[in-house]
Amino acid sequence: MSLPLLFYIAALIAVGSAVLVVLNKNVVYSALLLVLCFFSLAIIYLLLEAYFLAVLEVFIYAGAIMVLFLFVIMLLNLGREKALEHFKYLQRGLSIFLVVLFFLGVFLLLLNDSSALHQPEGGFSAGGVYSLGEALFTKYLLPFEVASLLLLVALIGTVYLAKRKI
């Protein structure tokens, strides 16, 4: 199988599962379809030669985050959502119009004016864990440390919010 074909198949699966995530009334199905979407995105990362990020996508998103989602769905005992009763047609039409406008605007801009894009010569050498780690620990050391602080704050905040009594 040729690699571009694999990209388009993965893209089709990603878009299809994303649409089903939004349209599905059952939250559990939405969560599982989102996992499918993340896996196809991981395949696309592999095709774009971001090998470490593909592994991270499966580990963090499909592993950790979606397990968290499923646990919360289980705890809250959410069944099928009641049918969306009051359709507000004006709001829906307006939001679809604005989103399509956004999509077409950026898309047509990209198609018509790609003169700003200049791909440098030479092979690609930035996908592996070595170059990523080197950038993280030299050029981006401060953001890396701040990210750890962010995780600590999130940890404390989560415990505070979810606990019944402190």
Name the packing angle between helices 3-23 and 27-47 (round to 10°). 160
Q: How far is the CB of 119 from other proteins (least distance, A)?
A: 6
Q: How far is the CB of 29 from other proteins (least distance, A)?
A: 11
Phi, psi at 130, each rounded to 5°: -65, -55
Cβ(9)–Cβ(43) under 8 Å?
no
Could you say whether residue 3 binds other proteins (CB under 8 A)?
A: yes
| 133-162 binders of other proteins (CB under 8 A) | 134-136, 139-140, 143-144, 147, 150-151, 153-155, 157-159, 161-162
Phi, psi at 126, each rounded to 5°: -120, 20
d(CA 64, CA 76): 19
| 6-35 binders of other proteins (CB under 8 A) | 7-8, 11, 14-15, 18-19, 21-22, 27, 30-31, 34
Q: How far is the CB of 38 from other proteins (least distance, A)?
A: 7
Among 115, 164, 165, 166, binds other proteins (CB under 8 A): 164
| 72-111 binders of other proteins (CB under 8 A) | 72-73, 75-76, 78, 81, 84, 91-92, 95-96, 99-100, 102-103, 106-107, 110-111
Residues in the chain: 166
User: Could you give the 3-state DSSP secondary structure of residue 151?
Assistant: helix
| 31-50 binders of other proteins (CB under 8 A) | 31, 34, 37-38, 41, 44-45, 47-50
d(CA 91, CA 104): 20
Q: How far is the CB of 81 from other proteins (least distance, A)?
A: 6
Identify which of 34, 39, 27, 106 has the alpha carbon closest to the alpha carbon of residue 74: 27
